[in-house]
Structure 1
Amino acid sequence: MNFLRHRLLTTLLVWIGMMLAGLFIVMLQLLPIYEDAEDKSDIWMLLFFSLVVALVLSAIVGSRVIGVAIKPIENATETAMELVKGNYVARASESNASNSIELSRTINVLARNLQEITAVRVMEQERLKTLIENMGSALIMIDKQGAVSLVNKPFLEEFELTPSVVMGKFYKEIQVPIEVENFIESVFMTETHSRVQIEFLSGLKLKNFNVYGAPVIGEHERWLGIVIVFQDITELKRLEQIRKDFVANVSHELRTPVTSIKGFSETLLDGAYKDTETLLSFLEIVHTESNRLEMLINDLLDLSKVEQSGFRVNAQPMNMEAVIKRAREMIQPKIDEKSIHLKLEIQPINVLGDANRLIQVMMNLLINAVTYSSNHTEITIRLFRKDNRAIIQVEDQGIGIESSEIERLFERFYRVDRARSRNSGGTGLGLSIVKHLIEAHHGQVEVDSTVGVGTTFTIYLPLAI
């Protein structure tokens, strides 16, 4: 551009010089005419004005030449420099000069194409970023030098890290469990696909992950690094273990009464029935075990029903005080058997619920309180209103529950004291049924317990409008 400007200026100066030379020659031709004149000032005045006119004309012509030939090229050059800087919105002005209009149009077409390509690239990057951040699985990408080049939010949250301590760091420098580090190193060294299940402690919790690692291959089969994806299967493992425990517990709970019934009936058939005292004793045991078997089957059927998707209760406005008193009457014999004092602190409150199901809930909670309470202790039932909910509390003075066991308290067949609950005839399904029935009422159930002091179950139910 500077070369072109100098070229035009040089041409202009040559043209001005030629113009002045011509003017000087004309004056020389006119000089003999005025040589006899006494006053030659007119000659110099004419020469001066001729020079001024020549300079003005030269300036006009030069400005026109520069405006037509230089300005469009300068504008095109400036636009090109803006494109180089990444400003794809810049456009060159399209003048009518035939020598530059094609250049300006071409640069503008290039600018529009670059702008469209950039917009598509930005959109694709945003889509990729959104996908990676919201994929639900933790992800980390490591380049061929072993430095972390990309992590998503689930990875940082899972391992309690921040981008500043991860990005650009060597993968052995980031604080992840040794099992995860070993897997990353294995994929990085072998440059092969790999899938494993990893189990490690995260604080006090045991975590399970399905981890997939793969090499990142670019153009021309160039190895660019590796990518590792973590899928949290802790909950799936927990549910699988619950299923296994359920099958094992059901088998055990069914086998015990069946074995007793079968054993005593075989003994009677072998001739023990001839002894009346033995016959009555064995029949009493068979009857007791049959009741236990029936209760277990009924609880299993109830639990299966309330766990079904779409289970609904027949919720209607009802008197919760009447429900509590009815449940107390039905388990009064068990209360009297252990000489337990049942204390009621009840306000008259109507709730939105299914009376039969809530009686079942209260009976299960009271039976649980009696089971784990010693003789001559006290059980307190409270009913009161707080905000827009009814609150029911069942408080005992029993053995209490370890804090580590409270999370599993509502699992099927889970028992705090297995020997005591089995001896009392419990099935281990009562609290699980309670939880599902309360949730079906759009309520909540909470547990607060201290070992050696007692346990309080708190139920929140919606009030009847």
Structure 2
Amino acid sequence: MAVTEPEAAGPSLPDTPEARDAPPRELPRTWLDHAHLIDSVDGIVWEADATFRFTCVSRQAERLLGYPLRRWYQEPDFWVRHLHPDDREWATSYCREATEQCLPHEFEYRMLAADGRVVWLRDIVTVLAEAGRPQRLRGIMVDITAQRGTQEHLERTVSLLEASLESTADGLLVVDLAGNIQACNRRFQEIWGLGDAKPGGLDSVALQGVLDRVKDPADFLARVRTLYARPEEESFDIFEMRDGRVLERYSMPQRQRGVVTGRVWSFRDVSARVHAERERERLLRDAHEAIQVRDDFLSIASHELKTPLTPLRLHLQVLKHALESGQPVTPERVDKALGQVRRLSALVNDLLDASCVGAGRMELQRTPMSLPELVREVFSDFRATSTQHLLTYEGPDEDLLVSGDRGRLVQVLANLLENAIKYSPLGGAVRVTLIRSEGDAVVSVVDSGIGIPKEEQAHLFERFFRARNAPVSGFGGLGLGLYICRDIIERHGGHIWVESELGRGSAFHVSLPVLATRSVHEAHV
């Protein structure tokens, strides 16, 4: 870019018809006016030849970059040498190509000032050409350092906000007052499965796409519409999704300079926390119930164990006194004492059986047996001892063979018959039936006693459960019999259930798989 230095520093004389026609005495004044005008422009006004050597530079160059004006003229490559190293190659190439094509151009680059500062310039360049060849360049360099600093600060701020938006654990959605999506983060898209939710779209469209995923879409939609109708209102609530997730929703108005311009929605997945809280509440509730069951059981057990011990002690004391005084001991007194021993033994056996059931250690010795014969045997024992109740039995004409533990099945039937008699304190009929139902044999024990409340029937086969209309003070028992019966029957592959109406008696049914059938005559041959 080597050219000769101009004859004088400063702007060239204006080459216009007015200048050529002006009287000689007015030229210096016009020239000075132009010089002052150019120097007053807030930028570096310059002119150079096609090789980028300056031929005219305004005094703003010295004030802006700190270099003497003579250096701009004397150094052929002044502009190129003082470009920022990172901009030097592309800026010169861009300017050269535009000049060769005689195209006006505008670009931004950095120059190094005399004191080492980096100055951002916007250069607006016009190419003067003759016969399609560039002759001169004219332009103005405007200092945009402050603007670029502001822009870079804004870009850094926006970048930081975007990074923060993407890094938060909450799903965020920003909409304007018209419901247009202004911003949303990736977490929002993940929570709702809305990969197409992007700035510029409508919130109403996205909303319709997620309603079928909410457990209560009507309530969800109503709350959204309420908040859109009340721009100043804040809101916080928790709702459930159909897939089991639990979300917190927080919404507040977006304000700019105190004016509401939109709304910010925040969604947080709190499923793990809520499920953990619910599990803790369930465990705590179960623990309280277990403690209550334990306390109730200890109270009942102590009462039930004490009940046979007291008369047993009295009977033994009477027997001892009779023996010491030489009086005869009657069999009736011994039988009464043995009866209390049997009662105490049954309570202890129930406790042992309940322990085996809870640990899954109850063992069965199963063999083929005649179920009608077993039912008749248990029925006969109870009919012989019960004087206040009318016991009846109705069985099938055929013999029904089942595979079972005889002792355990007797225990079940005895328990059902004992309950039927015990919970019919005013007497009445107790009916036992045995029928064949498809592949099962069904034994039913029906009484006309106090019955069982409907809401308590589902809990009847639970451990230690007692119906509220059958207090231990009036009926006794540990609340283990039916619990043990259920386990025994289910281990036989059968089923036990109850039908009852409060005050009108109960019907307990036991079904067992039938192995085979044979006529009654064959069964007794």
TM-score, normalised via structure 1 length: 0.48
TM-score, normalised via structure 2 length: 0.43
Larger relative contact order (CA 8 Å, sep ≥ 6)? 1
